Structure 1
Amino acid sequence: MTTTAVWQTYPVTPDRFEDFADVVNPNRRETHCWCVSHRLGAREVAGLGGREQAMRTLCAREIPPGVVTYRDGEAVGWCHISPRADIARLVTSKLIRPVDEVPVWSIICTVVRGGRRKQGVTAHLIEGAVAWARSQGAPAVEAYPVDPPGRMDLTMAFVGTRAMYERAGFEVVGVTDATASKMPRLVMRRSLVT
């Protein structure tokens, strides 16, 4: 008898920090990614006590920096999503400019826990992130994936692909001046206003 997995997605609040870390940095290495560079400069990170502590600080904010997705109680995915206005690198970007005045929420990173890839996590992760943004009053969610002509270099998989977001109901609304592995990044949006 087959059982259906139970999927849940929650904002990464301080009580869920260890679950987030288990997904993005299971060995807790300070020099590895803690997903803070799009929000804080090096001086801010240092002033907060390093990358891990900086991310802990972000998780304690009123609007945490993203969500963690669980399958049957195990943390299996992370999505960095919040209002675009809260993501300093996007606010100041000359390459990924707003396409209009809509106060969108932005997805800038998705991570699937090692050993859990190719198991449908990303689809549940994006749906959970979009649902959370909707519950917080977001009018739309944007992502900035690449549009590779063939198979994508797996070292760049964190940026996502057009097809992944199309399956989640996103539509292309623009092209950025940014590239990843010489491939253009798109602006894809899912409207949450009915």
Structure 2
Amino acid sequence: MQTYIGPCDAVGGRTLAVFKVGTRQGDVYMSVGRTEFGNEERAVVEVRRDALVGLWRNEMPGSIRAPLRRSTHADAMRQKLELADEGFQFGAHDPVPLVEVRCRLRPHLAPRVVNGTAAINSTSRPYVSIVDGAARTLWLASQGAACFPVECSVAEAPLLARLAGMPQSPWLRVSEMLPQ
């Protein structure tokens, strides 16, 4: 992983896996920590910004996306982006948490014509849902971060790594990054 710095001691005696991400504003720091349980099931994948954002767009069908852009939630998102900007300013001594995502496949039915006969082509469309950190994702994208680490389940890590992962950057379990 090109953004992974290593384990670092944090406030409160916790040890965090810390990452350094390059942006137009300079380097910013992100982290993930061990929890009481589930560290074997949590993975970190270093993703390409454009690929992740493209998969995130697939989360909602096009007919739903347009009205959401015009919603009154613009002020709330602006406030969240300001908080993300502030959070990223604290530096390595207080890194922001990784964005948590889900990467899945959704069945996709597409009409087509074969030899003059209407047919349905059944495929699957990959998508990413952002569980925690939409403002952080938008902030990183707007600041030109080419890649950054995200957290997902181990079961979804291979798909996310294949679709949006950095080449030659293997995903890792949190337990591998932060052994007890």
Q: Shared fold (TM-score greater than 0.5)?
A: no
Q: Which has the higher strand share?
A: 2
Higher-Rg structure is: 2
Q: Work out which structure has the larger RCO, using CA pairs closer than 8 Å and 6 or more positions apart in sequence.
A: 2
Calculate the TM-score normalised by the size of structure 1.
Answer: 0.29
